[in-house]
Amino acid sequence: MILLGTIVNGAAIIIGTLIGSICTRIPENMKTTVIHGLSLVVVVIGLQMAMKSEQFLIVIGSLILGGILGEYWQLEERLNALGRWIEVKTGAAASKGSIAQAFVTATLVFVVGALAIVGALDSGLRGDHAVLYTKSMIDGFMSVMFTATLGIGVAFSAIPVVVYQGLIVLFASQIDRFVPQVIMDQFIVEMTSTGGILILAIGLNLLGLTKIRVANFLPSLFVTAAIVTAVFYWNQWSLI
């Protein structure tokens, strides 16, 4: 089922919320250890995906051009600003411990990030839910932490997560109707590699080793599509 990864993600958040409502006191050392373990898994998955490339120059070009676009558009800063705006509009910033605060905080963490986009694209294009399963583990554990401190409102964040990722999955699954199969096959390979590098960066950030502005590299995924298409038609033209 194409939406399986997304559904599992939503379920993990709800289950984590239920556990968090029971376990209100979790030792800080235990939190750190589990987060580090999950972060290492994210790093390994990123490395595995990154090595899939058949034309690494495409990946390099995508990351450079995508990073330039992301910095120019200031995606990381805009996402953070969006989060602050939502907090103000919902009153979450001023209402400590409220359902609104719990919902907004958890939603921003679970939805705003490269892992959600890359994972959803992977599910839609390749039918591979591994990235979303990993995200589910991370989100599930984080929901336990959030619920223990913010309350039961964390559970409601499962709704925007499922809707947001589900729409990306469905879009990605239908794109092959409009794009030649040869281009799609090449794009999937190079997108997987490019996305893997972004996931690797997320893992390193979670470990506290780096402070990479991953959101600013999100345009790389779309640049990959443009480069793969351009290379394909260039090769076709060269044969004429």
Rounded distance, CA 14 to CA 140, Å?
8
Q: Is the pLDDT of residue 112 over 90?
A: no
* CA–centroid distance for 224 within its chain: 17
The tokens for 184 are 């799609």
Q: How confident is the model at residue 104 (pLDDT cuts 50, 70, 90)?
A: low
CB 138 within 8 A of CB 12: no
E strand or H helix that includes residue 118:
helix 114-126
Q: Give me the percent of the chain exceeding a pLDDT of 70.
A: 88
- Count of CB atoms within 10 A of residue 1's CB? 9
Query: Is the model's pLDDT at 84 over the cut of 70?
Result: no
User: What is the value of pTM for the model shown?
Assistant: 0.76
Taking 80 as the threshold, does the pLDDT of residue 220 lie above it? yes
State the pLDDT at residue 162.
95
Q: Which residue has the tokens 């583990």?
A: 137
Please report the beta strands in the chain, taking only residues with DSSP state E, as ranges in sequence order: none
Q: Are 42 and 138 in contact (CB under 8 A)?
A: yes
Extract the tokens encoding 138.
Answer: 């991370």
Asked if the model's pLDDT at residue 92 lies above 60, the reply is no
Mean pLDDT of 80-90: 66
Q: Residue 59 has what pLDDT? A: 96
Least confident of 62-71, 96-105, 171-180, 213-222: 96-105
Nearest partner of 75 among 117, 121, 138, 37, judged by Cα: 117
Tokens encoding 151:
């309350």
What's the confidence (pLDDT) of residue 113? 63
Q: Which tens digit of pLDDT belongs to each residue from 2-43?
A: 999 999 999 999 999 999 888 767 787 887 787 788 788 878
Residue 197's pLDDT is what? 92
Rounded CA-CA distance 32/181 in Å is: 45
Assign 181 a pLDDT band (cuts: 50, 70, 90): confident
**Domain residue ranges in the chain:** 4-239
- Do the Cβ atoms of 102 and 108 come closer than 8 Å? no
Phi, psi of 113, deg, nearest 5? 170, 155
Q: Classify residue 102 as exposed, middle or buried by CB count within 10 Å of its CB (0-12, 13-18, 19+).
A: buried
* Tens digits of residue pLDDT in 41-52: 878 888 988 998
Q: Over 60: is that where the pLDDT of 158 sits?
A: yes
